[in-house]
Amino acid sequence: MSEIPAAITFVSADTDDAREAAARLSALYGQEKMADADIIVALGGDGFMLQTMRDTMGSGKRIYGMNRGTIGFLMNEYREEGLRERIAAAVAETIRPLEMTATDAEGLSHKALAINEVSLLRQSYQAAKIRISIDEKERLEELICDGVMVATPAGSTAYNLSAQGPILPLDAPLLALTPVSPFRPRRWRGALLPNQSTVDFEILEPGKRPVNAVADHTEIKSVRRVRVRESHDLTVTVMFDASHSWDERILSEQFRY
């Protein structure tokens, strides 16, 4: 068990429930300035948790989320009592984001980070045609699809799961490469990659079949090439109640029907 934290700051999503919870908790436990806080308690849903993770990336601060949103897969149960003790007993998980480098139709390079996934999506009624290389070796000459993504373990329960991709334990040294509505090869369901892999996507027939690239909330239109790899330098630490750890959530999710 960790020491009971003294320096906590509360941040909330822009909803009545989240703001009211932040006011009550700060009255109970105090409110440190963000710069002085060791623990950030994020109040909202998964979207707000991801925003908080992006905002504090590389800061060394730990994030403990409590659900004041709808889904809350990344969040702990909301309770006001015993918060310091819960945080002290929580399990810390380190997450590394994906780094995306995308080249657009004008030849301009764009960089963005993604905690969940980097996805390539068709821009028009025409299916996308995409060539895929792993560590500079061509693995799929032509994927005809609505899209394709690289997902982190943290993002494997999000868009990746809805596209029939695999759920990954948070500490698994893997990335999920998952197609979206593949047409050819019809039976290709994606691949599991070592997390040190570099994935290159080349858009084929980009004029006729334009494709956008999305790194979490950052979208680049009409891309020609996209490179994705796990960051070597940036991390963020999130904390889960020991009684409802990320591993337990992963197991439970796989037995839902």
Q: Among all residues, which ones are annotated catalytic?
A: 46
Task: Report DSSP letters for 174-232, one per residue.
Answer: EEEEEEES--BSTT---EEEETT-EEEEEEESTTTS-EEEEETTEEE-SEEEEEEEE-S
**Using CA of residue 241, residue 215, residue 172, residue 5, what is the dihedral sign?**
negative
Task: Report DSSP letters for 4-35, one per residue.
Answer: PP--EEEEE-SSHHHHHHHHHHHHHH----GG
* Amino acid identity, position 74: L
* Amino acid identity, position 140: L
Residue in this structure with the two tokens 């948070």, named with its chain if needed: 170
Query: Rounded to whole angstroms, how far apart are CA atoms 57 and 41?
Result: 15
Residue in this structure with the two tokens 């070597």, named with its chain if needed: 232
